[in-house]
Amino acid sequence: METGDRWVKDLGEQGLLQRLQAHCSPDIIGDDGAILALKSGYSLVVTTDVLVEGVHFSDRTTSAEDVGWRAAAANLSDLAAMGAEPIGLTVGLSLPGSLSVAWVESLYLGLNACLQPYATPIVGGDICRSQIITVAITALGQVQTDRAIRRDAAQLGDAILVTGVHGASRAGLELLLNPNKMPDWNDEVRKSLILAHQRPVPRLDVIFHLRSLSVQRVAGMDSSDGLADAVLQICRASGVGARLEHSAIPMPYAFKLLDPDLAMNWTLYGGEDFELVLCLPRSQAEALVQSLGGEAAIIGEIGEGDRVEVGDRFSVYPTQVLSLQSAFQHF
């Protein structure tokens, strides 16, 4: 930190912009707009997310670097959910003048740390003054025009696949808010659940697995608003129902020590795990589970009607009907 440049208001808009340009792509920043080339035969994919201080993050649970990472991860996850490779990100910030410049630079470090494995640049943005911090990200990607993953393309008989465990991010948040909860969990478990919350990894790798398996039709979305929400949204958009199998839904191993109802609630409704929920023919789903490895699993099947149920073939738990009302609402 240089002397005299400690707070956003000291640097002024031009000064802060210049400082932040070091974190952006030098080839495409510095004009009224950024110019990006698309591959021939590809369409543009666009997605936007807004994060607000006190709603999506707070000093208690999130460092500036984590805010940046999560903002980038959420947007890259949306691109992955469309089957698109990322090509760039824009960052619209509103900031209090009393915020430290170090906070803003850490935000950009977090953004770039998440973007780095995908060689994705920050290609533009805007900053202005506000009483609270708002981070509005728009991510740009490209997809072969006929290979986009749409949520309205699920068909009867499709297997429903998740690319990993759900509930870990929700458990990590709980540990950050109430460090004394879950005394049975050891430090390693705590760390890994907190990391799942702070540094979720967007599943852009799935696109390459789908490509190498030559999967032609796949419906899906990401599970940013929870696993239940994802299945419900896909079913609503596709005009179908679904039956999930209780015992097939992967959750963090540490959830064995939780009350089973709480464990399933966090897994279904926790949100922010940023996995993909995909619907595709069973044989291809099995090949994809094999190819992905890890905790990827087939958790159910698309059926008729409009209900989404969680059944239990061991008859321990009663059949549960999922609803959007139980999911997280922003207002």
Segment 74-93, which members bind its own copies (CB under 8 A)?
78-79, 81-82, 84, 87-88, 90-93
Using CB under 8 A as the binding rule, the residues of this chain from 296 to 325 that contact its own copies are: 324
Q: Find the binder of its own copies among 68, 110, 121, 124 (CB under 8 A).
A: 124
CB nearer to its own copies: give 140 or 254: 140
CB nearer to its own copies: give 25 or 192: 25
Token output for 326: 């139980």
Does 287 engage in binding with its own copies (CB under 8 A)? Answer: no
Q: How many C-beta neighbours within 10 Å does residue 317 have?
A: 14
**Sign for the pseudo-dihedral over CA of 85, 204, 113, 14:** positive
Using CB under 8 A as the binding rule, the residues of this chain from 151 to 180 that contact its own copies are: 151-152
Using CB under 8 A as the binding rule, the residues of this chain from 234 to 273 that contact its own copies are: 237
Run of H or E including 126: strand 122-129
Does 150 engage in binding with its own copies (CB under 8 A)? Answer: yes
Q: Which of 77, 78, 63, 72 is nearest to 91 (CA)?
A: 72
Give the number of residues in contact with its own copies, rule: CB under 8 A. Answer: 72
Residue written as token pair 């495409």: 28
Does 141 engage in binding with its own copies (CB under 8 A)? Answer: yes
CB nearer to its own copies: give 13 or 261: 13
Q: Find the binder of its own copies among 61, 94, 265, 320 (CB under 8 A).
A: 94
Using CB under 8 A as the binding rule, the residues of this chain from 3 to 62 that contact its own copies are: 8-9, 11-14, 16, 30-38, 40, 43-52, 54-56
Contact 51, 71 (CB under 8 A): yes
| Burial per residue of 165-180, b for 16 or more beta-carbon CB atoms within 10 angstroms, e otherwise | bbbbbbbbbbbbeeee
Does 104 engage in binding with its own copies (CB under 8 A)? Answer: no
Using CB under 8 A as the binding rule, the residues of this chain from 172 to 231 that contact its own copies are: 221-222
User: How far apart are CB 57 and its own copies at their closest, in Å?
Assistant: 12
Residue written as token pair 């208001």: 9
User: How far apart are CB 280 and its own copies at their closest, in Å?
Assistant: 17
**Sign for the pseudo-dihedral over CA of 278, 284, 287, 291:** negative
Q: Find the binder of its own copies among 119, 183, 321, 331 (CB under 8 A).
A: 331
Q: 308 burial class (0-12, 13-18, 19+ CB within 10 angstroms)?
A: buried
Contact 110, 21 (CB under 8 A): no
Nearest-angstrom CA–CA distance, 259 and 241: 28
User: How far apart are CB 158 and its own copies at their closest, in Å?
Assistant: 17
